[in-house]
A and B are shown apart, each in its own frame.
With several copies, the nearest count.
Chain A
């Protein structure tokens, strides 16, 4: 069911109200429009599987590392034990953890694709996300293909403590090797991309795209607001604001995202004379 989250916010199983324009949207139509309001272009969140379907050449996605799941290295328990939380998230989402990775074609370019899943514990990054994203980067390096990561995350996963923090360095180490090898890495920021995810791989794409109005920030707006004890500037931490401040290449509406990525994949593809990708 693609509408796990929206359904909670809007009672009807058939209709969803657009929070921007107030329009009542027929859910089937909304899904057909990739969760974008047909009236005002408000971008609802999109599930990871739907995101993959939106981006890749039909039927070209081969998933990797499907069986990786979390351990409980800290023996962590808050309102409930971490393993229980993981099991419940798995049952609810049907996914093993908060990232789906695989090889795919986009406009006939082979790519490694990693998509974070906000529905799984807020897209939080623990060891599994770190391991899967690192493997995706390593596969891209081994196969000399570009890497795409679609972020959607509240940040690092607290339940794995400092091990979660270390995933930032682990992934950036792999991305550094990709960069040295001259391979392109595309970072796509979707609502929300915050915390340790933004402060690592999400901010260092050769090209950085964001979806309209996506929340893009390091510190929670609440923390930031308390720090200064006053109201934040209009549009603070929204994609368009971050674009103006120089950290995003383009804000791209979802309907154009696939073609836009394809354009740059083709532009960066080495010419016949240039052997650099085909080691």
Chain B
């Protein structure tokens, strides 16, 4: 089904009605079999050997050229971005969070937790994509924004907010992909898109399971219980309309066959960008607005008062309890 149809809210019987068949994506949550538990997903998403952003970028693109700096304070190594060539699509801007595969790399990149200057670098590159009419691809993989005092002092909250707001209005197609761990606002700052995809074992949560356990059960050992309750696994996100499709991973997880995983990401990305590229920018921005506008569950006794379209496609529906 064409994305243009999706913009018009048309439905088809194939798939869940908005993502093309040939992407190899999982778009119907009901079709997921042999699922892992959420806690197993948490562990797979954090697996040290899991392909991280730089490895994925190297596999997805030709000739990646990294660009540095926020033009204000520092170049943050936890955020990697630049220009890359994608087969059949052309040049794109890519912005990613990079966690390490070793302790040394993790220390150098603050465990993939960006500082404010990381988000400000991201914003600068978003604007570059807009100026030069290049599609934007983001790769999300972070435990969250860095929580240290310098990050607070330099405006972690402001940087995240501005990054989200910039993506909301950015006049170029955006595909965001949750690679591993999507930790809270620090992940969302890279994850506002026209299409949001997740690897099959990725997670995306408002708070880490450990954090939630400490607050809700007053015990960090209840993390598994929190992971279940938070519905942070990719399959849950698909059901909730937060992601539009899942990119299949090899049976043992992405790290057991990085090449196959990256291949699956690449084919999904090419199909999405090809289609998004044909949509006039004004329509794209309207659809992006509606995408987020309709996420959430509210109960309202006077449904006539709810200002939402009557006919919504599945993935844009306000979920309501029956």
Contacts and interface: CB of A to CB of B under 8 A. Distances in A.
Nearest to B148: A227
Q: Quick one: which of A138, A169, A175 has the most chain B CB within 10 A?
A: A169
Interface in A217-240: 217-220, 223-224, 227-228, 232-233, 236-237
Interface string A252-279: 0000000010011011101100101000
B56 interface: no
Given A198-B157, A228-B148, A67 B300 contact: yes
Interface in A120-152: 126-128, 130-131, 134-135, 138
B147 interface: yes
A182 B131 contact: yes
A127 B157 contact: no
Interface string B27-53: 000000000000000000000000000
A50 interface: no
A172 B157 CA distance: 13
Contacts of B121: 246
A195 B320 CA distance: 26
Interface string B290-316: 001101111111100101000000000
B65 interface: yes
A54 interface: no
Interface stretch (A20-28, A55-63, A106-114, A200-208): A200-208
Contacts, number: 260
A89 interface: no
A65 B161 contact: no
B229 A69 contact: no
B184 A196 contact: yes
Contacts of A206: 128, 131-132
Contacts of B131: 179, 182, 206
A250 B71 contact: no
Nearest to B203: A162
Interface stretch (A4-12, A40-48, A74-82): A74-82
Contacts of A126: 296
B164 A168 contact: yes
A174 B132 CA distance: 19
A31 interface: no
Contact of A162 (B117, B206, B216): B206
A224 B68 contact: no
Given A169-B188, A223-B147, A264-B65, A204 B168 contact: no
A228 B293 contact: no
User: For chain A, which range describes its interface: under 10, 10 to 19, 20 to 34, or 35 or more residues?
Assistant: 35 or more
Contacts of B292: 166, 169-170, 173
Given A158-B207, A162-B231, A207 B155 contact: no
A252 to B, nearest CB: 10
A104 interface: no
B296 A204 contact: no
A246 to B, nearest CB: 4
A249 B68 CA distance: 4
Contact of B296 (A69, A158, A166): A166
B147 A247 contact: no
B240 A207 contact: no
A158 B161 contact: no
A90 to B, nearest CB: 12
B104 interface: no
A199 B153 contact: no
20 contacts: A73-B321, A126-B296, A160-B206, A161-B232, A162-B231, A168-B164, A169-B295, A179-B131, A180-B169, A196-B206, A203-B155, A217-B152, A218-B145, A219-B152, A236-B149, A245-B69, A247-B69, A266-B91, A267-B132, A274-B133
Given A165-B185, A245-B73, 6 more contacts: A73-B321, A163-B240, A169-B164, A203-B161, A244-B75, A267-B85
